[in-house]
Chains A and B, each alone.
Chain A
Amino acid sequence: MKALLSVEGLGKKYILRHQKKAQYATLRDTISDKFRRFVSPGRDQGHPGREEFWALKDVSLQVHAGDRIGVIGRNGAGKSTLLKILSRITKPTEGVARIRGRVSSLLEVGTGFHPELTGRENIFLNGSILGMSRSEIRSKFDEIVAFAEIEKFLDTPVKRYSSGMYVRLAFSVAAHLEPDVLIVDEVLAVGDAQFQKKCLGKMEEASRQEGRTVLLVSHNMAAIEALCTSALFLRKGQTQMLGPAPDVIREYMNDMNVAASTEVSQRTDRGGRGMLLLKEIATLDTVGTNAYSVGDPVRLGLLVQNRYPHPVSARFCVTLRNNADVGLIACDSFMMGEVLRLEGSSDTAVTCNILSPPLNYGEYFLNVTIMIDDQVEDWVGSALRITVESGAFHDHIRLGSFPILTRFEWKLTEN
């Protein structure tokens, strides 16, 4: 059978400009830049402010009708770039992708919704933007409205909708698309769980019965495992593994573990300018095991090398992520209004105290970012893995299965 979607050697290159402020170019910058190059053409070589970056490199993939493929990988692995190329939003730098049949991409819920327009008007607008014809929208209109449960508010501007209604309406339009290939990016992360389930169910049903092909990016391994037949694991823009979903998910989990158990000083998969470097990271109380009990404070010791000859003020951020790479907590010195002064050309020891981590038992991965102002100097993903073991959390007698714990109480309202 001929593939519905075939991708060969796809790559996308970005040119990074390291500029401090300008978000977008201004005419003045361009003119003065051109002028400078004109005056002294030789000086521009090896422009320190420009760097090539391959967001995606040499990715190949064959998808047949009815396949449901999950795309997984860490943040910045090229998942979204792949979807953007396949949805024709941006062009590849090299390689070819061929798609037979109708494609709909859902990279965001409610793309093109206009707050001033009513629900009715937005259904038509959004449907059209997602690629439905007017007659198609009209024939499915009642179904969309019923699915979203917003009958009463059809003629109210969506800016007056509650966020729940807004998301329901947006999802509902999307769920009624009937493409041959559906491309979905992490949109399942919003909306209430009940409604999400309804949408997932609808998509799965369509896929099973009509042989629809789905390409789904998600950090939610459970959703990938439930919905997808196979999975693509991207790492630094390249294919790490392609195969049956459970195998690929296992490989992805392993990869996170391997990264976490490699000495930080040996890690080469870092980001940032590299003039400040994380040389070591360790837990201070539980050396060797990195195991804590629920509710225990976590103390981290970091050793940081400053390769600048002068002292700098640095900003430190440690994020705690669960084993699906979902960020749960960020301990950013910026949030506390603190900057740490590091002496020039030397190593400095820094401590991070997480006083009362509200984490349930499980495995957690720490990403470390070191910055000067907004310039990233060093970034290490999964620099450390810690294990939180079951234990006592304040006055809880049970811990449940949700990742975040907090103190609360239930009682009858007193009059």
Chain B
Amino acid sequence: MQRGNDKEVVIRAGGSAADYWRDIWTYRELFAFLAWRDILVRYKQTVLGVLWCVLKPVLTMVVFTVIFGKLARLPSDGVPYPVLVFAALLPWQFFSGALTECSVSLINNANLLTKVYFPRLIIPASSVAATLVDFLISFVIMLGLMLYYGINPGWRLLLLPLFVGLAFFASLGAGLLFAALNVRYRDFRHIVPFVTQFGLFISPVGFSSDVVPQGWRLLYSLNPMVAAIDGFRWSLTGNGMSLYLPGLYLSVAATVFLFALGIWYFRHAESSFADEI
């Protein structure tokens, strides 16, 4: 990209890690272009277009409010049930969307993988970044809901970016792992939808995580999305909720582990992508 005329590229078996991360910086524009392409393409030739990223969370919210709030009468700590659900749907739908897109990103871009060079990490990372746009649109609805119910979260809102980061790294970590596995084992095409469907019910999306018995709470926090969801609720729904700190730390640790594992496996598998895809 840049005219680094004096830079010498050395091609050999192995190769150094420092060069790799420098290359990612060099190819940052390609990262932006790929994310931009994914966003442009996603809603081309659809009638409702961007309205789809409004409809999906809103309909899910209605169904969950009716089932968990009205029929099962689960507690909501004084927060209106739709708000409770929607605050959790934000990170969850981001996670499941990003994971789905990310895990097939390498296969869908097989033609790029076999025809041009760039650090492969750019492909899955840009697909996660593209999902952030859907997230931002849903976030506007969340603000509307909060206005409607008169909820003012105060200073806690300032900590929201931390939890967005948590959801981002959890989805990127899992996404990288699945994307790389998918290149060699196409089984993961079938595993990912299962993970996102299953995860919706084992994560505290339709209910508050206070519903989980105290003794199981720590174990429950091993799911990295638990901290992200609890954090979203905590920073968006104002007082009445408290953070379960040991669980938060454990979830953060699980996220860091997942992310490190994803990067490690991806880097490990990367050199043979072009030969195997």
A residues neighboring B (CB under 8 Å): 14, 24-28, 30, 84-103, 105, 107-108, 111-112, 114, 116-117, 121, 124-125, 128-134, 157, 180
Contacts and interface: CB of A to CB of B under 8 A. Distances in A.
B33 interface: yes
A101 B8 CA distance: 7
Contacts of A94: 13
A351 B90 CA distance: 70
Contacts of A86: 11
A96 B44 CA distance: 45
Contacts of B150: none
Contacts, number: 116
A232 B3 CA distance: 28
Contacts of B215: none
Nearest to A122: B37
Contact of B33 (A92, A108, A125): A125
Given A26-B185, A108-B115, A117-B37, 10 more contacts: A27-B188, A89-B117, A91-B12, A91-B15, A100-B6, A111-B111, A112-B109, A112-B112, A116-B44, A124-B33
B40 to A, nearest CB: 6
A19 to B, nearest CB: 14
B185 A25 contact: yes
A96 B10 contact: yes
Interface string B85-116: 00000000000000000000000010111111
Nearest to A129: B116
Contact of B115 (A25, A98, A107): A107
Contacts of B44: 116-117, 157
Interface string B1-30: 111111111111111000000000000011
B79 interface: no
25 contacts: A25-B184, A26-B187, A84-B274, A87-B117, A88-B117, A89-B114, A89-B274, A90-B271, A90-B274, A91-B13, A97-B10, A97-B11, A97-B12, A100-B7, A105-B116, A108-B111, A116-B41, A116-B44, A117-B44, A125-B37, A128-B33, A129-B116, A133-B1, A133-B2, A134-B29
Contacts of A130: 116
A25 B277 CA distance: 10
Nearest to A121: B40
B112 A111 contact: yes
A49 B8 CA distance: 40
